[in-house]
């Protein structure tokens, strides 16, 4: 072989090996799920809190949730069982990923941001496809969801006189940028795994970050708490600031995600109890520690 070609071949081989190792590092940073797609999908559903929103009290699992009340109206989480008529049974993998990461329905309509696609946009293909495998395995239920009741925040007691879904395109242009999680090479594998779980499937910011007058997350005050949660309750600050969890240790936080007990011995209630019992309690010790490591490192303004 010509010496120049030989040298180029060596360089290409080195580059390929290097990029392959980088890709593996990136994959490892965000993947700690079982190898079985069904078990992995069940775990993604747990950390994503699918049942918490999409299952009504005394209702069939995932066949549609209790109403979510907000200044913009009342939203009804839809049926996500594999029923082809009223659920997601007829969706392709591509349609499912587009809905989750882009917030666009199979029919091409934008979803209201009550659906946290602005967080799910950070999720990787593997987790989303495994989630779909699990959702496709649950019992299909034919049950249509009620129509959303929209309100204008300036006149909260009046229903919106028209369908404002077209305005969501403007909202998306202002407040939504599709993204994928990118590990920070300056941080540890544990930190990156925690960042992925918190910012992506866990969608923690959706409750713990305040919103602006348009209902978009105020990222300048990320995780500093919100005046109104899903049940109308105040959502706490979870930064390291004086009003947050600055006096918690990483061990405190990791243990909290396992059984829901705070450092003072009290147990969490309301919606967060569901997050723990149906979500973080089902994760591995390593994943709970990773979430804690990331939250303990959140910047404080």
Residue 23 has pLDDT above 90, yes or no: no
Domain identity same for 211 and 153: no
Domain identity same for 143 and 253: no
Domain identity same for 149 and 216: no
On whether residue 169 sits in a domain, the answer given is yes
Domain extent, residue 248, equals 187-301
Domain identity same for 123 and 229: no
Q: What percent of the chain has pLDDT over 90?
A: 71
Q: What is the mean pLDDT of residues 229-238?
A: 82
Backbone angles phi, psi at 258, to 5 degrees: -85, -45
On whether residue 16 sits in a domain, the answer given is no
On whether residue 19 sits in a domain, the answer given is no
On whether residue 116 sits in a domain, the answer given is yes
Domain identity same for 56 and 164: yes
- Give Cα separations from 132 to 36, 45, 54, 86, 98 (angstroms): 13, 9, 15, 16, 12
Q: What is the CATH number of the domain that holds 299?
A: 1.10.760
How many Cα atoms are found within 13 Å in the side-chain-facing hemisphere of 168?
Answer: 18
Domain identity same for 100 and 234: no
User: What's the pLDDT tens digit per position in 66-86?
Assistant: 999 888 888 999 999 999 999
Q: Could you say which DSSP state residue 146 is in?
A: P
Domain identity same for 173 and 233: no
Burial class of residue 135, CB neighbours in 10 A (0-12, 13-18, 19+): buried
Backbone angles phi, psi at 71, to 5 degrees: -60, -15
- Last residue of some domain: 180, 208, 227? 180
On whether residue 25 sits in a domain, the answer given is no
Give Dmax (Cα) for the chain: 80
- Give Cα separations from 130 to 21, 96, 118, 215 (angstroms): 24, 11, 20, 30
Q: What is the mean pLDDT of residues 104-115?
A: 95
- Please give the pLDDT value at position 301: 67
The predicted model scores a pTM of: 0.86
| Tokens 């049950």 belong to residue | 143
On whether residue 5 sits in a domain, the answer given is no
Q: What percent of the chain has pLDDT over 70?
A: 83
On whether residue 268 sits in a domain, the answer given is yes
Domain identity same for 64 and 154: yes
| Tokens 């829901």 belong to residue | 260
Domain count, the chain: 2
- Last residue of some domain: 142, 165, 180? 180
Q: Could you say which DSSP state residue 69 is in?
A: E
Domain identity same for 198 and 168: no
User: What's the pLDDT tens digit per position in 156-180?
Assistant: 555 554 566 778 999 999 999 999 9
Domain identity same for 132 and 203: no
Domain identity same for 129 and 69: yes
| Tokens 């239920």 belong to residue | 141
- Please give the pLDDT value at position 7: 38
Q: What is the mean pLDDT of residues 190-217?
A: 96
Enumerate the H helices of 138-269 as residue ranges. 168-175, 189-199, 205-208, 250-259
On whether residue 10 sits in a domain, the answer given is no
- The more confident residue out of 154 and 268 is 268
Domain identity same for 173 and 75: yes
- Last residue of some domain: 180, 209, 244? 180
């Amino acid at each position: 072989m010509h010496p120049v070609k030989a040298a180029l071949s060596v360089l290409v081989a080195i580059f390929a090996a290097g990029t392959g190792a980088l890709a593996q590092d990136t994959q490892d940073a965000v993947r700690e799920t079982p190898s079985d797609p069904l078990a992995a999908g069940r775990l993604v559903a747990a950390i994503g809190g699918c049942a918490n929103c999409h299952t009504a009290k005394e209702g069939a699992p995932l066949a549609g949730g209790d109403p979510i009340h907000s200044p913009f109206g009342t939203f009804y989480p839809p049926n996500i069982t594999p029923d082809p008529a009223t659920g997601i049974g007829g969706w392709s993998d591509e349609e499912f990923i587009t809905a989750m990461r882009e917030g666009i329905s199979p029919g091409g309509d934008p979803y209201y941001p009550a659906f946290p696609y602005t967080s799910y946009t950070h999720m990787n293909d593997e987790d989303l496809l495994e989630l779909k495998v699990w959702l496709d395995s649950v019992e299909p239920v034919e049950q249509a969801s009620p129509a959303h009741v929209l309100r204008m925040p300036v006149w909260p007691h009046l229903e919106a006189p028209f369908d404002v879904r077209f305005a969501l395109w403007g909202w998306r242009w202002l407040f939504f940028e599709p993204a994928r999680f990118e590990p920070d090479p300056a941080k540890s594998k544990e930190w990156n795994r925690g960042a992925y779980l918190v910012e992506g499937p866990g969608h923690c910011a959706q409750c713990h970050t305040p919103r602006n007058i348009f209902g978009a997350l105020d990222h300048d005050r990320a995780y500093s708490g919100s005046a109104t949660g899903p049940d109308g309750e105040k959502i706490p600050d979870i930064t390291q600031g004086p009003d947050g969890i600055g006096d918690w240790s990483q061990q405190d936080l990791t243990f909290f995600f396992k059984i829901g007990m705070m450092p003072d011995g009290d147990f969490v209630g309301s919606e967060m109890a569901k997050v723990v019992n149906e979500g973080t309690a089902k994760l591995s010790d390593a994943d709970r520690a990773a979430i804690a490591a990331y939250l303990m490192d959140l910047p404080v303004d």
